[in-house]
């Protein structure tokens, strides 16, 4: 039997403890061990951004990290965005037709969540720069940038929500 390590994380506010092989990626850990399948695997080389999650509040490519490297951390996934209905970012993506197949969407949503936490009123150029590491093969980025602008406006106008963890 291969060597295994205990990994303890807080995922979307809930404590998770699992025994894992040292080579298991954080993306595979979330999908297989924690059964949160919203984190998608695209290229598995850290290029496409589909696997983006928040690690202690910062966006990371979960396909490039081993689960054991995240031991003790807080992880936020797309499943953690919605509480009582869709998150304003999710609503804006829906309303502005900023998704098609949806494969890249979870990673984009987590990237946008981070952007809007850091910059509540980003310019279109700042939005494009933040999303430069998230590849969408189905749609143009114009609707996505429009959705991010709309989400920013909704979040500025709404009462404070609990941040994705």
pLDDT at 1: 57
As a whole number, the mean pLDDT across the chain is 94
pLDDT at 162: 56
- Across 151-160, average pLDDT: 90
Please tell me whether residues 150 and 106 are part of one structural domain.
Answer: yes
Please tell me whether residues 57 and 114 are part of one structural domain.
Answer: no
Q: What is the CATH number of the domain that holds 113?
A: 1.10.150.120
pLDDT tens digit sequence for 54-113: 999 999 999 999 999 999 999 999 999 998 899 999 999 999 999 888 899 999 999 999
Q: 3-7, 54-58, 63-67, 136-140 — which is least confidently predicted?
A: 136-140
Please tell me whether residues 136 and 70 are part of one structural domain.
Answer: no
> Which of 91, 83, 99, 88 minimizes the C-alpha distance to 144?
99
Instruction: Write down the pTM of the prediction.
Output: 0.92
Q: How far apart are CA 59 and CA 115, in angstroms?
A: 9
- Strand duo 74-76 + 5-11: pairing: parallel
Please tell me whether residues 106 and 150 are part of one structural domain.
Answer: yes
Q: What is the CATH number of the domain that holds 41?
A: 3.10.20.30
- Across 105-131, average pLDDT: 97
Please tell me whether residues 100 and 63 are part of one structural domain.
Answer: no
> Which of 8, 9, 10, 12 minimizes the C-alpha distance to 164?
12
Q: How far apart are CA 156 and CA 24, in angstroms?
A: 39
Contacts of 140 (CB under 8 A, 6+ apart): none
Q: Which domain holds residue 123?
A: 88-157
Please tell me whether residues 153 and 132 are part of one structural domain.
Answer: yes
- CB contact at 8 A, 42 and 62: no
Overall domain count for the chain = 2
Please tell me whether residues 51 and 96 are part of one structural domain.
Answer: no
């Amino acid at each position: 039997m291969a060597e295994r390590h205990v990994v303890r994380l807080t995922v979307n506010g809930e404590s998770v403890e699992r025994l894992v092989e040292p080579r298991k990626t954080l993306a595979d850990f979330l999908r297989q061990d924690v059964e949160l399948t919203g984190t998608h695997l695209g290229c598995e080389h850290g290029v496409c951004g589909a696997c983006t999650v928040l690690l202690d509040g910062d966006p990371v490519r979960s396909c490039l990290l081993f689960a054991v490297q995240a031991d003790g951390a807080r992880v936020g996934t797309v499943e953690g965005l919605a509480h009582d209905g869709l998150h304003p970012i999710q609503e804006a993506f829906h309303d502005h037709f900023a998704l098609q197949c949806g494969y890249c969407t979870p990673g984009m949503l987590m990237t946008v969540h981070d952007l809007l936490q850091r910059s509540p009123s980003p310019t279109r150029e700042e939005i494009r720069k933040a999303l430069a590491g998230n590849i969408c093969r189905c749609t143009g980025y114009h609707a996505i940038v429009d959705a991010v602008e709309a989400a920013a406006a909704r979040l500025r106008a709404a009462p404070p929500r609990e941040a994705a963890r």
